[in-house]
């Protein structure tokens, strides 16, 4: 009997695939080639696809096209990082090639996989083999080679073809072979499809850690007797940790006696907090010791008891739109110092995020809408946010223009060329040209032992990174920073700026600047407080 994938089974597949990836996201994160604390491919892909699972869980299943279209829409708006954007494009292409309402047969599944592959390749300006693109292409080609009529059997063969291609990614990209890993995005995609196959075989995969999935949406409120509310303020926020390795246990213990209905989800560098308390100020004071807080929401439950009694996650009140203007700029940044710099340069809306905290397409789209302008420039300031920014710009109703800044210094240089009175075309040209005026570098720490770019690196070393290469490594932070500058600056360099991050002081930064001046006496050496996480220093050379 010919087997097809009906709407009910497709929903189970989506949920199983999302669960399988979520259960294995740390493994995918660990496949990061660079030994730096930004291996977030698994987390980004999982957060992206959990949105798909949530969308089908909450809908009345009617036909296949409604299910797959909901998946495409959810992944498009929830996409985080380049891997998440490419994943969303795969399912966008799949959705456009499924027309049957009753069920997906083998022939339609072939067509859908080819559509997903082609759409993903078109979404990337310079497609690179040995990545997630190779894996989806292998899946499409395996499907096209199948001459049977059983969609279940076809999916099994697709998974085998993807697995073989994933192994080959190590041979396609030297950096993968050197690090002894396969491509992280490709592995994430395979986990999703293996989850699909498990559901098809009647063994759908359950979520091992429900707290991670629940962190995508607001935690459900506890049912409250409004006649006798002991703790009046429903307090929610997200903490972007200063140190991803630091546990939230101390903060949890400090705030627990101050309320009830407490939920603290500690997930790597992000902590999601919900508590009912009479002392929200105390709770925030404890939280700020752990990291930078965003999405703070405090509601008086005595006044807003109706929504809470319903047990629903109330939507955050829409932020008031800015006064309508002709041109605005939104920028991604984290750290009080960097946020202040961008604001002073004329950025109208800040999207909190950056390394290890990639905002979603919807986060960026919301910032564009809040800017309330005819023309909105977007500064991603990180190579892993560019695709999400471009995707948001395509959806936006205004004229949204992405300036492809891949580092914070590039974003700052672009803003120095921005003029609110210039035409959109002039600003786009001037801001884009400014990106090439600066060379950027970052200093962070190694999260594992490895050898890269001819440098033997040990876990815990301080490393300088520039242009996708590790250019310095030392047990001493100052030495690693100075060596980074020596690698990216030369005798023609005019300005060298050190943006020091959280945990560093202006005194230590100035001492490093003084040492740099000895090697570059003709350059102006500047020090600025960035307050950024992950990187001890961001270096700009102009």
327: pLDDT confidence band, cut at 50, 70 and 90?
Answer: very high
Question: pLDDT tens digit string along 189-208?
Answer: 999 999 999 999 999 898 88
Q: What pLDDT does 236 receive?
A: 79
Name residue 197's beta-bridge partners.
Answer: none
Is residue 18 pLDDT above 50, yes or no? yes
Q: Are strands 399-402 and 373-379 parallel, antiparallel or unpaired?
A: parallel
Under DSSP, the state recorded for 354 is: B
pLDDT band at 316 (very low <50, low <70, confident <90, very high): very low
Two tokens at 40?
Answer: 């977030």
Residue 531 vs residues 333, 515, 534, 536: alpha-carbon distances, Å: 10, 22, 10, 9
Angle, in degrees to the nearest 10, between helices 184-200 and 151-172: 160
- pLDDT tens, residue by residue, 342-392: 999 999 999 988 777 788 999 999 999 999 999 999 999 999 899 999 999
**How many other β-carbons are positioned within 10 Å of the β-carbon of residue 233?**
19
Band (314; pLDDT cuts 50, 70, 90):
very low
pLDDT digits (tens, 9 = 90+) for 63-87: 999 999 999 999 998 888 888 999 9
Confidence of residue 486 (pLDDT cuts 50, 70, 90): very high
Instruction: Give the alpha-carbon dihedral of 50, 55, 57, 59, to 10 degrees.
Output: 180
Distance of CA 134 to the CA centre of its chain: 22
Q: What is the pLDDT of residues 221-279, one digit of tens each?
A: 233 344 445 677 778 788 888 888 888 888 888 998 888 767 677 766 788 787 878 88
pLDDT grade for 95, boundaries at 50, 70 and 90: very high
Main-chain dihedrals φ then ψ at residue 381, nearest 5 degrees: 60, 20
Percent of the chain surpassing pLDDT 90: 56
Q: Is the CB of residue 446 less than 8 Å from the CB of residue 457?
A: yes
Is pLDDT above 90 for 293? no
> Phi and psi of 167, rounded to 5°?
-60, -35
Main-chain dihedrals φ then ψ at residue 495, nearest 5 degrees: -135, 130
The reported pTM is 0.73
Q: Note the pLDDT of residue 320.
A: 61
Mean per-residue pLDDT, 316-335: 79
Among the listed residues 479, 481, 492, the one whose alpha carbon sits nearest the alpha carbon of residue 538: 481
Contact call for residues 419 and 427 (beta carbons, < 8 A): yes
One DSSP character per residue, 475-521 reads: SSHHHHHHHHHHHH--TT--EEEEEE-TT--HHHHHHHHHHHHHH-T
pLDDT digits (tens, 9 = 90+) for 294-313: 777 777 665 544 443 343 33
Pairing of strands 325-333, 373-379: parallel
């Amino acid at each position: 009997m010919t087997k097809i994938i009906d709407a009910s089974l497709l929903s189970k597949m989506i949920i199983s695939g999302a669960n399988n990836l979520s259960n294995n996201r740390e493994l995918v994160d660990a496949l990061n080639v660079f030994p730096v604390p930004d291996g977030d491919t698994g987390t980004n892909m999982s957060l992206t696809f959990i949105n798909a699972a949530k969308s089908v869980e909450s809908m009345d299943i009617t036909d296949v096209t409604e299910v797959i279209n909901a998946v495409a829409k959810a992944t498009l708006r929830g996409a985080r990082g380049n891997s998440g954007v490419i994943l969303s494009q795969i399912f966008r292409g799949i959705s456009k090639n499924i027309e049957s309402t009753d069920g997906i047969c083998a022939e339609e599944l072939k067509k859908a996989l080819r559509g997903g592959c082609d759409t993903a390749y078109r979404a990337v300006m310079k497609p690179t083999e040995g990545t997630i693109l190779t894996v989806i292409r292998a899946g499409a080609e395996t499907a096209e080679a199948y001459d049977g009529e059983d969609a279940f059997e076809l999916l099994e063969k697709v998974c085998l073809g993807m697995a073989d291609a994933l192994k080959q990614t190590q041979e396609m990209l030297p950096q993968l072979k050197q690090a002894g890993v396969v491509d992280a995005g490709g592995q994430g995609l395979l986990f999703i499809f293996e989850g699909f196959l498990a559901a098809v075989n009647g063994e759908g995969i359950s979520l091992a850690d429900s707290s991670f999935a629940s962190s995508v949406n607001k935690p459900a409120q506890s049912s409250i007797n409004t006649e006798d509310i002991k703790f009046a303020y429903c307090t929610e926020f997200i903490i972007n940790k200063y140190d991803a390795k630091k546990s939230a246990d101390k903060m949890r213990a400090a705030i627990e006696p101050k309320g009830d209905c407490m939920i603290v989800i500690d997930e790597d560098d992000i902590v999601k907090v919900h508590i009912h308390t009479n002392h929200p100020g105390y709770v925030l004071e404890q939280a700020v010791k752990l990291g930078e807080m965003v999405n703070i929401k405090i509601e008086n439950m005595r006044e807003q008891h109706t929504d809470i009694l319903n047990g629903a996650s109330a939507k955050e009140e829409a932020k008031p739109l800015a006064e309508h203007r002709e041109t605005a700029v939104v920028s991604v940044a984290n750290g009080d110092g960097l946020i202040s710099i961008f604001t002073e340069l004329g950025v109208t809306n800040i999207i909190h995020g950056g390394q290890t905290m990639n905002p979603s397409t919807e986060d960026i789209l919301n910032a564009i809408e809040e800017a309330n302008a005819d023309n909105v420039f977007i500064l991603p300031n990180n190579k892993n946010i560019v695709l999400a920014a471009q995707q948001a710009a395509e959806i936006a109703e205004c004229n949204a223009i992405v300036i492809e800044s891949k580092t914070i210094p590039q974003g700052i240089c672009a803003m120095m060329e921005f003029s609110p009175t210039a035409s959109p075309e002039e600003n786009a040209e001037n801001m884009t040209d400014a990106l090439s005026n600066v060379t950027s570098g970052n200093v962070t720490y190694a999260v594992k032992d490895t050898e890269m770019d001819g440098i033997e690196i040990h876990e815990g070393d301080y490393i300088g990174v520039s242009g996708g290469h590790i250019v310095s490594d030392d047990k001493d932070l100052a030495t690693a920073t100075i060596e980074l500058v020596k690698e990216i600056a030369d005798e023609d360099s005019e300005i060298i700026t050190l943006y020091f991050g959280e945990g560093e002081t202006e005194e230590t930064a100035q001492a490093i600047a003084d040492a740099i001046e000895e090697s570059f006496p003709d350059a102006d050496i500047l020090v600025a407080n960035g307050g950024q996480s992950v990187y001890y220093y961001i270096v700009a050379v102009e």
